[in-house]
Structure 1
Amino acid sequence: EMRNDLYITVERGEFEKGGKSVARNVEVTMHVVDSSGQILRDFISFGSGEPPASEYHSFVLYHNNGPRWAELLKLPIPVDKFRGAHIRCEFRHCSTKEKGEKKLFGFSFVPLMQENGRTLPDGTHELIVHKCEENANLQDSSRYLKLPFSKGIFLANNSQAVKTTKESFWITSFLCSTKLTQNGDMLDLLKWRTHPDKIAGCLSKLKEIDGSEIVKFLQDTLDTLFGILDENSQKYGSKVFDCLVHIINLLQDSKFHHFKPVMDTYIESHFAGALAYRDLIKVLKWHIDRVTEVELHEHIQEVLKAQEYIFKYIVQSRRLFSIATGGQNEEEFRCCIQELLMSVRFFLSQESKGASALCQLQAVFLSSFPSVYSELLKLFDVREVANLVHDALGSLPTVMQGDESLQAVKLQSIGKTVESHLYTNPDSRYILLPVVLHHLHMHLQEQKDLIMCARILSNIFCLIKKNSSEKSVLEEIDVIVSSLLDILLRTILEITSRPQPSGSAMRLQFQDVTGEFVSCLLSLLRQMTDRHYQQLLDSFNTKEDLRDFLLQIFTVFRILIRPEMFPKDWTVMRLVANNVIITTVLYLSDALRKNFLNENFDYKIWDSYFFLAVIFINQLCLQLEMFTPSKKKKVLEKYGDMRVTMGCEIFSMWQNLGEHKLHFIPALIGPFLEVTLIPQPDLRNVMIPIFHDMMDWEQRRSGNFKQVEAKLIDKLDSLMSEGKGDETYRELFNSILLKKIERETWRESGVSLIATVTRLMERLLDYRDCMKMGEVDGKKIGCTVSLLNFYKTELNKEEMYIRYIHKLYDLHLKAQNFTEAAYTLLLYDELLEWSDRPLREFLNYPMQTEWQRKEYLHLTIIQNFDRGKCWENGIILCRKIAEQYESYYDYRNLSKMRMMEASLYDKIMDQQRLEPEFFRVGFYGKKFPFFLRNKEFVCRGHDYERLEAFQQRMLNEFPHAIAMQHANQPDETIFQAEAQYLQIYAVTPIPENQEVLQRDGIPDNIKSFYKVNHIWRFRYDRPFHKGTKDKENEFKSLWVERTTLILVQSLPGISRWFEVEKREVVSMRLIAMCTVFFTAPPIGYWKSTVEMSPLENAIEVLENKNQQLRTLISQCQTRQMQNINPLTMCLNGVIDAAVNGGVTRYQEAFFVKEYVLNHPEDGEKITRLRELMLEQVKWGKFLAMSPAQLF
């Protein structure tokens, strides 16, 4: 866009009084006058949207001989009117008294252009104020233009006019023009033909001219330079070249960067130097040949920076020459280019240690070298250019110990090459690819510039992907595999083994780089064919090299399938990666079989293979069962179930191992077991038979398979605790292996192992299901007890046993079952001795001696017995640990323990304890967990818990259960029902220590403990009538069926409930007896039931009532009971029985003559009944006469 605007600022003036007594009121009027003396119309612009004017009038400052205006004006004068034009400023005095025109008293002027063509220089100018009182004197401009206009010019050239210099006027000018210049050197250069003797000087001064002046006249300047070159290239060729380099580099400055399109347009449309290419090539080669000359380094660096545009001029010049001559001297031109690039190759091949000037020159050249490719393609075909570039880049030193900045620039140049149009052509790409990969390999080997390497690789593979239909791609993949696969694997291993940076920005960059390398690897493997894999495997000279490669790629694959390798929602990327991995593994499996079996067997590589296969199958992203139906369908359609494919490959590879399978037993049992637990039927059917194979080989080696059993058991617990496995798996595991071992000589022991593992699965599945519940309940505790006992009794796994002891302990603490928690921890305590044997760190226990741990356990157990008000048991442990302190003369701790023991005695005597009730619970039906199914238990109720509350609690724990409303034995249909039935009723504890309870003088606080603790046996009574029922007195025919239950463990214990082990006969004369067995009872389970006669029942009722009276009277006498209401209520029940007639009914039933004659064998019992009745009468009379004796 052409522009020619002159900006004038009217600054200030200094004026005389002019014969007046006061200062003047000065007004300035400005005109633009052309060379003929005519005022130019409408070339003064005031801005602010005002229309242009022909003259300017300043404002007037009252009585001021030194006014300051500072008003800015724009004069948009056309170029053709600029020469010969001048600005005239007229000064007038304005008076408010005088009428008529304002009185002129002087003027100033300034020409816009000098005779040599230079315009008025930018800056402030002090103009001479010439005296003039008549307007007519200004009509002819030629009269005053001969006068000096500026103080500087006047003082130098016209001393006769000194008397006129007392008054001055200041303006500031600024020219904004694309055609006019204020620089004399620029004018001299542009007018070189008028003074050819100054050409050399003008060319030398070009570098001193301000850059804005050069770019303003860019086209004219370039025309001048190439004009000089055409006229006399031999004399001025080098200087013109230097000037051209200066201009090109000037455009690299950000200030003038936007002028590059101007130069591009000039080259394409205005450049006419058809012979310039010869001199440009010649001078450029001269500079490159002298890169070793230190004194020229700075200048050569400038030349190399400008090489892009130098080549543009060379190419355009040659094209113009070819058009003009019909392509003459083509061979000569090609030779020149070849010689030039030969110099380039020599220059690039120079090595220099560390940072040096030579390295800087090489870096400068490489940074802009890729921009030359597109220019060369205008004259040469792609193969020729590719070969030229290949030779140039190939000449670079292979040593990586040089200047790091040079290495970075070299890699950037490689990157630009890959991004260039030249590389997109298959023919040229095949030529360039080896040298590109060579430099990438060097950088990756040194782990330098990984970000740039990743970007280049990504571009390479993106281009291959776009052109995947081309035949040349197969050859390119060959080159990449042979050159880069190994180092790419090593790079991924290296960067993934580094700790991630702490900063978020650096961490994101690290992840991006890792992701790019991974994507490149996957892209490469995905495009490899059978031929590529075969060539890759054949390329290894030794088995050791192949072994290292396989170990490396298996390790990388394990890294790629880490959960954190891709973002969580990158499902498609994960599936693609897994598809590539399994495809590659299938190819490599064959190499593994062929090269590393029999005498060449290598455990490490086979182990790495199996480890990869297992974690591949276990990936969360491949568990199709977790997908929505539509998503699962799409995955299966595109990829199939890759888990099954890999499982079949594992089975196939395992079968090839032969006797080498023993190397992986028992190490692979756990991983393979984890695979079989995946809920995929086909995968399970393929993998489970491997366990039979392991059992067989272990049997051959050791004569047993205890290792297999131990590993299976250990891993099952941890895996099922993680939620793996189900009932279907248990059944499938059992059926497949039982079928497999049918014809084995070791079938019997195999069946035993399978049965043991299957039973463990049952318990683990029950345990897992129970643990899913929110609150701690009896089901959780019972399941844990069942599993704990299984580990101890059937598996003898002490460590697992201890682990579940502590899990049960934690459950009890959460449920505030402190007594049961103490009993549970006591199980672990009993496994330890009072010794100094060191124990390893385990669970929450630190590394310590066995004595220290047992001491800690004792104290914890005592604390829990205290909280559970089971102080008697705490006292026993206090005594035991006190003995240890005493044996070590640790009197300080002995004293503390004796005081603790004493405090427990005090609590027994001072604090009230509630006696819990006990309930028998039967769990019938197949829907109950295994450890409850068709079994009966006795449960210790909570404080204040009665039958109704307990029954409701059980129904809450088993919301689908049906409560049975009778106490009769269930039949077969109930046992086999696909439902849950609960049968609940209260039972009475039968204390073991009868001596304490029957001895007089022992406080009831002490007796109450033995009534409900350490209880193994319980009874429950079912009343019924035998024979004819007497309506007047039901006691005559009232019989009681009494059943005694014996538990597997006493209550309280490690649980609030224990299973009923058997039922046994009561030690008394039997009136009638019938033995009843459960339908399909558990092994070793038996029961017996006795019937009590009405007389025996009456004796027991009175014994219990009298015992109750004795206890209440004793409590009142020892002031344990402050309120006698319970005693009063009990006596009222004896004296005046409101229900069933009381003891009177017994008299009527058993003391009559008829009963005594018919039952002579009951004489002793009748006597006993009479004694008990008399005892009641005695207590009633005693209390009626002496109630005060109670206290």
Structure 2
Amino acid sequence: DGTTLSDESHELYVYKCDENTTFSNHALYLGLPCCKDDFNSCPNIPSSLIFQRSTKETFWICTQLSSTKLTQNVDLLALLKWKAHPDRVMDILGRLRHVSGEEIVKFLQDILDTLFSILDDNTDKFGPLVFQSLVFIINLLRDSKYYHFRPVMDTYIQKHFAGALAYKELIRCLKWYMDRSAEVVRQDHIQEAMRALEYLFKFIVQSRILYSRATCGMEEEQFRTSIQELFQSIRFVLSLDSRNSETLIFTQAALLNSFPAIFDELLQMFTVQEVAEFVRGTLGSMPSTVHIGQSMDVVKLQSIARTVDSRLFSFPESRRILLPVVLHHIHLHLRQQKELLICSGILSSVFSIIKTSSLDTSVQEEMEMMVESLLEVLLQTLLSIMSKSQSQEAVRGQRCPQCTAEITGEYVACLLSLLRQMTDIHFQRLMENFQSKDELKEFLLKILCVFRNLMKLSIFPRDWNIMRLLTSNILLTTAQQLAPALHKNFAETDFDFKVWNSYFSLAVLYINQPSLQLENLSLAKRKKILDKYGDMRVMMTYELFNLWQNLGENKIHFIPGMIGPFLGVTLVPQLEVRNIMIPIFHDMMDWEQRKNGNFKQVEAELIDKLDSLVSEGKGDENYRELFGLLLLEKIEQETWRETGISFVTSVTRLMERLLDYRDCMKGDETENKKIGCTVNLLNFYKSEINKEEMYIRYIHKLCDMHLQAENYTEAAFTLLLYW
């Protein structure tokens, strides 16, 4: 049959020969049967042979063929020599699938040459079968076993492929398959064609290049039209409702998986903008719903992810076209809280690309699109994830994959990237785009709530100091941008306590962040941070103070609620922070004096919170002196200065005793010294400022000290001080 000897063991016949016999007629000897198969297949062998076969001796050989020109496969040989049997071409092409993969990759170039030769011979008759054969070979190279032969295919297309007319039939067949996807029940062949899309387009583009080169660009318009019609068919396949058809889902998935691989091929024939329009139309044709099935959702997003990672997306002129449809699908999934991890990966890639291209003028427009599409839904997503994370901690052992630290960290990074790249103009337009104050209020509460959670939750590992500082810097910049919206929209008669309280609470948490307490760092680290960011506590303190000043008569709403938090800020060991914040207590005293004729609430809250904060280790002698100095200076001009001076003097004396008490308790003082400090403090509360509840608190502390020393009588008499 023309094939080469098969790879196996062969038994050869051994013949008896007389030593003196001369082989004058070689043909007689060579015509003898060499083996059993040869003997059975030769009908004209004479009954008596010139040499007799030895029955006692056998001879075995083992053969193995290694060749790129000789084949042992009859089907492959028939294909390569198809011109010898032109009437059998249909059958020959149909039997290609039965040829082993090893044989196909061995004769890859010869097979491809043969297929395109058959196509040129009779396109109408053999076109579909050649197309199927080509698809079969392309998909064979997708197998991991033969994947390393793809460069051989690439080399063939670039250097050896000569089918200048092939593109017409390849486009026609590909379109025909796609158009049938809505009608056919079994779609195996259609799915195979979808999986082969990348290399089909390589052949199409190279074929068109060859044709254009040979004809000086003839039929360019027809080619463009055929590609546009092909993309209409692609969009048709993706737009079909596949919820009730698993087969159609597989077809759409195969198409989406292959689709991003054709972008570079299209860029050889079309402009960046034209290719972007093709891709936008295709991605836009996918169903907007996120309920088409989880597997299809994943495939859809993976296709978008590969689009974002493609070379096409790196061009500003194409990104401007593609970004809206990418953001549309991301927005839909985030709104439904679906496939959060994949969405975060896509967003990370987008932010990274835009950051790299930040010098381009188009980036400002892109950022505006992203702010409009993503900011609110990112905030909502983070609130949802953080809420689930907290509830997950409450239920031991319950694990929710959508609430892992990985997802939280990913979305925090996305939000920070977005905020970091926003300019003053972006913030201004963001505020202008809200249709009502209720919408603005809802947005402000969301973003401030997310920021507070970032302060409270351990999103990043402790040793990620650079990331923590960058986060603080972004939050500070954003808070500075949001501040004008508060006094512009929610001050005076439009005052909204919830919004203001939310901002103040964030500012307090921000200033008290452990990562911003530069006093705890070495001089070198402190200098490095100050050179890069400045003291961010001071900057936030100025924001806090300015907002407080803008409150006017609405300050009364935060008395006494904000006394404790503001007092905590003044105890931060930073002189400028203390200088800015301590005078606010004079302001609070003044407003309560105006309203009630006294400042009893400020007095009570300040003493109570000061006691607990100093007990926690905050405050020092410098703070005590500065507190008295600044407030006395402010009060000196007031009509109520006598009561004010008396109160401030009492508070500074209280601080002196609290600091002594704290130092005594922390040191190695004797029990008698500790008891003495406690007695001094409780006597001060009773006799000098008449704070019954504080007096009782320290009586119990004194009682506990006596009990620890087993002085039970003294403990009893201590309790009798107020019983």
Normalization by structure 1: what TM-score? Answer: 0.58
Deviation at 1:613, TM superposition (A): 0.7
Counterpart of 1:194? 84
Q: Which residue of 2 aligns with 1:579?
A: 473
Corresponding residue to 1:818 among 710, 718, 721: 710
Q: Which residue of 2 aligns with 1:120?
A: 5
Residues 136 and 756 from structure 1, CA distance in 2 versus in 1: closer, same or farther, beyond 3 angstroms? Answer: farther
Does the 8 Å contact 2:186/2:247 carry over to 1? no
Query: Which digits, 9 at most, give the CA deviation of each residue in 1:982-1026, with x for residues without a partner?
Result: xxxxxxxxxxxxxxxxxxxxxxxxxxxxxxxxxxxxxxxxxxxxx
Counterpart Cα distance in 1 of 2:290 and 2:54 = 75
Structure 1 residue identity aligned to 2:479: V
Query: Which residue, 492, 495, 501 being the options, matches 1:598?
Result: 492
**Pairing partner for 2:719 from 824, 828, 847:** 828
The equivalent position to 2:454 in structure 1, one of 560, 578, 588, is 560
Separation in 2, partners of 1:276, 1:721: 86
Write the distance in 1 (CA, Å) between the matches of 2:553 and 2:190.
Answer: 73
Partner Cα separation in structure 1 for residue 245 and residue 456 of structure 2 = 42
Match of residue 148, structure 1, among 30, 33, 53: 33
Number of the residue aligned with 1:50: none
Q: Distance in 1 between matches of 2:419 and 2:480?
A: 12
**C-alpha distance 311-621 of structure 1, shift in aligned 2 (>3 A):** same
Aligned match of 2:137: 247
2: CA distance between counterparts of 1:151 and 1:173? 17
Q: Hey, what's the Cα distance between the residues in 1 that align with 2:96 and 2:716?
A: 98
- In 2 relative to 1, CA 140–641 (structure 1 residues): closer, same or farther, beyond 3 Å? farther
Work out whether 1:482 is the aligned partner of 2:410.
Answer: no
> How far apart are residue 694 of structure 1 and its match?
1.1
CA displacement at 1:440 relative to structure 2: 1.0
Match of 1:174 among 58, 64, 69: 64
- Residues 1:357 and 2:251 are matched in the alignment: no
State whether residues 448 and 502 of structure 2, in contact with CA within 8 Å, keep that contact through their aligned partners in structure 1.
yes
Determine which of 338, 342, 350 is the counterpart of 1:452. Answer: 342
Alignment of 1:776-1175 (within 5 A): 776-812=670-706, 817-819=709-711, 821-828=712-719, 831=722
The amino acid across from 1:257 in the alignment is Y
From 601, 605, 621, the equivalent of 1:707 is: 601
Distance change (3 Å), C-alpha of 1:141 and 1:591: farther
The structure, 1 or 2, with the larger RCO (C-alpha pairs under 8 Å, 6+ apart) is: 2
Whole-angstrom CA distance in 1 between matches of 2:318 and 2:48: 80
Please name the residue that 2:316 is paired with.
426
Which moves more between the two structures, 598-607 or 182-191? 598-607
Tell me the residue number matched to 1:773. Answer: 667
The residue number in structure 1 matching 2:613 is 719
**Structure 2 residue aligned with 1:634, among 528, 531, 535?**
528
Superposed CA deviations along residues 262-284 of structure 1, whole A, max 9, x for unmatched, are 00000001000000000000000
1:698 alignment counterpart? 592
Matched residue, 1:844: none
Match of 1:658 in 2: 552
Between structure 1 and structure 2, the one with the greater Rg is 1
**Other-structure match for 1:134:** 19
Once the 2 structures are TM-superposed, how far is the Cα of residue 463 of structure 1 from its aligned partner?
1.1
Q: Where does residue 688 of structure 1 map in the other structure? A: 582
| Whole-angstrom distance in 1 between the partners of 2:125 and 2:562 | 86
Measure, in 1, the Cα distance between the counterparts of 2:444 and 2:366.
23
The aligned residue for residue 473 of structure 1 is 363
CA contact under 8 A between 2:301 and 2:343: conserved in structure 1?
A: yes
Change (3 A) 1:775 1:300: farther
Amino acid at match of 1:152: D
Of 743, 751, 755, the match for 2:649: 755
Partner residue in 2 for 1:1025: none
Higher fraction of helix: 2
Residue identity matched to 1:439:
H
Q: Is the 8 A contact 1:349 1:396 kept in 2?
A: yes
Deviation of residue 164 (structure 1)?
4.7
**Per-residue CA shift, 1:759-805, capped at 9, x if unaligned?**
22111111121122146543223212222333344445455444434
Cα distance in 1 between the residues matched to 2:253 and 2:20: 71
Q: Structure 1 residues 356, 591: CA separation in 2 closer, same or farther (over 3 Å shift)?
A: same
- Secondary structure (helix, strand or coil) at the match of 2:66 reads strand
% of aligned pairs identical? 57
Say if 1:461 and 1:763 are closer, same or farther in 2 by CA, change over 3 A. Answer: same
Tell me, what secondary structure is at the counterpart of 2:144?
Answer: coil
Gaps spanning 5+ residues in structure 1: where?
Answer: 1-115, 833-1191
Q: 1:206 to 1:751 in 2, by over 3 A?
A: same
Amino acid at match of 2:241: E
SS in 2 for 1:125: strand
Aligned equivalents of 1:263, 1:828: Cα separation in 2: 94
Q: Does 2:119 align with 1:232?
A: no
Q: CA deviation at 1:808?
A: 3.5
- Say if 1:509 and 1:182 are closer, same or farther in 2 by CA, change over 3 A: farther
Query: 2-side partners of 1:421 and 1:775: how far apart?
Result: 72
Amino acid at match of 1:824: A
Query: Which residue pairs with 1:537 in the alignment?
Result: 431
- 2:537 aligned with 1:648: no
**Which structure is higher in strand share?**
1
Aligned to 1:1146: none
CA distance in 2, matches of 1:352, 1:829: 82
Name the structure 2 match of 1:402. 292
Q: Distance in 2 between matches of 1:709 and 1:718?
A: 15
SS at match of 1:176: coil
The answer to whether structure 1 residue 492 and structure 2 residue 382 are counterparts is yes
Residues 331 and 755 of structure 1, relative CA distance in 2, 3 Å threshold: same
1:542/1:509 CA distance change after superposition, 3 Å: closer
How many residues were matched structurally? Answer: 714
- Secondary structure of 1:535's aligned partner: helix
Change (3 A) 1:507 1:812: farther
> Does the residue aligned with 1:523 lie in a helix, a strand or coil?
helix
For residues 131-166 of structure 1, the C-alpha deviation after alignment (integer angstroms, 9 at most, x for no partner) is 334385668653333222222342454584799585
CA-to-partner distance for each residue in 1:95-129, whole Å, 9 max, x for gaps? Answer: xxxxxxxxxxxxxxxxxxxxx43111122334333
Paired with 1:488 and 1:137, the residues of 2 have a C-alpha distance of: 97
CA distance in 1, matches of 2:18, 2:397: 81
Structure 1 position 752, deviation (Å): 2.7
CA distance in 1, matches of 2:301, 2:207: 32
Partners in 2 of 1:137 and 1:249 — Cα distance?
Answer: 59
2:411 maps to amino acid: F
Kept in 1: contact 2:16–2:54 (CA 8 A): no
Q: Partner residue of 2:172?
A: 282
In structure 2, how many angstroms separate the alpha carbons of the residues matched to 1:200 and 1:179? 23
- Please state whether the residue corresponding to 2:263 is helix, strand or coil: helix
Correspondence 1:365-404 to 2 at 5 A: 365-404=255-294
Q: What is the match of residue 345 of structure 1?
A: 235
Deviations 1:23-48 (A, max 9, x none): xxxxxxxxxxxxxxxxxxxxxxxxxx
Tell me the amino acid that sits aligned with residue 173 of structure 1: T
Contact 1:776 1:811 in 2 (8 A): no
Q: Which residue identity lines up with residue 382 of structure 1 in the other structure?
A: V
Question: TM-score, normalised on structure 2?
Answer: 0.94
Alignment RMSD: 2.5
Shift of 1:507: 9.1
Query: Would you say 1:743 and 2:628 are equivalent positions?
Result: no
Q: Look up the equivalent residue of 2:715 and give its one-letter code.
A: T
Comparing 506-515 and 772-781, the one that deviates more: 506-515
